[in-house]
């Protein structure tokens, strides 16, 4: 693993993730979230530095996964998209469904909107990882074929 490419890739994924989350949660569903918060005072906490730090942890782990399995998924942007879709379904989408079936304040519309966003966002984040972390897949494959 090339540490410089790894860190550059993780930083790019982190910035994209922060921007996507900000846009979706403030601009797309922000008003609906504010209505839910107003109806349930004291239920939500918003610690923006904590959310951004959580996005950094995601970016580091996601990039590590991409470095390790990107070649098996075909390498490049499409491998990142595939990994992003798998991660999205296994974590935020399933988690959102658990939340929908656990609390009464989550509507099916909000759950589906967030699930759709997570699938799209993770695919974009994966594409960014695949575009930036250009693993040495092709030379390795060519070396194997040359044998």
What's 26's DSSP letter?
A: I
The model's pTM is 0.81
Q: What is the pLDDT of residues 25-74, one digit of tens each?
A: 999 999 998 998 899 888 888 888 998 999 999 999 999 999 999 999 99
106 pLDDT band, cuts 50/70/90, is: confident
More confident residue, 142 or 97: 97
Q: Which residues contact 37 (CB under 8 A, 6 or more apart)?
A: 43, 44
Give how far the C-alpha of residue 119 lies from the chain's centroid of Cα atoms, to the nearest Å: 8
Q: What is the pLDDT of residues 116-145, one digit of tens each?
A: 999 999 999 999 999 999 765 555 555 666
Report in angstroms the alpha-carbon separations of 6 from 13, 71, 99.
11, 15, 33
Report in angstroms the alpha-carbon separations of 143 from 12, 76, 137.
30, 18, 10
């Amino acid at each position: 693993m090339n540490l410089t490419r790894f860190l550059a890739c993780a930083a790019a994924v982190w910035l994209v993730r922060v921007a996507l989350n900000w846009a979706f949660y403030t601009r797309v569903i922000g008003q609906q979230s504010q209505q839910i918060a107003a109806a349930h005072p004291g239920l939500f906490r918003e610690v923006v530095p904590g959310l951004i730090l959580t996005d950094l942890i995601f970016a580091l782990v996601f990039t590590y996964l991409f470095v390790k399995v990107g070649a098996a998924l075909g390498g490049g942007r499409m491998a990142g998209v595939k990994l992003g879709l798998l991660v999205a379904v296994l974590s935020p989408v399933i988690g959102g469904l658990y939340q929908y079936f656990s609390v009464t304040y989550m509507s099916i519309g909000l759950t589906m909107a967030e699930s759709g966003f997570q699938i799209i966002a993770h695919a974009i984040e994966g594409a960014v990882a695949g575009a930036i972390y250009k693993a040495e897949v092709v030379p390795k494959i060519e070396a194997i074929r040359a044998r």
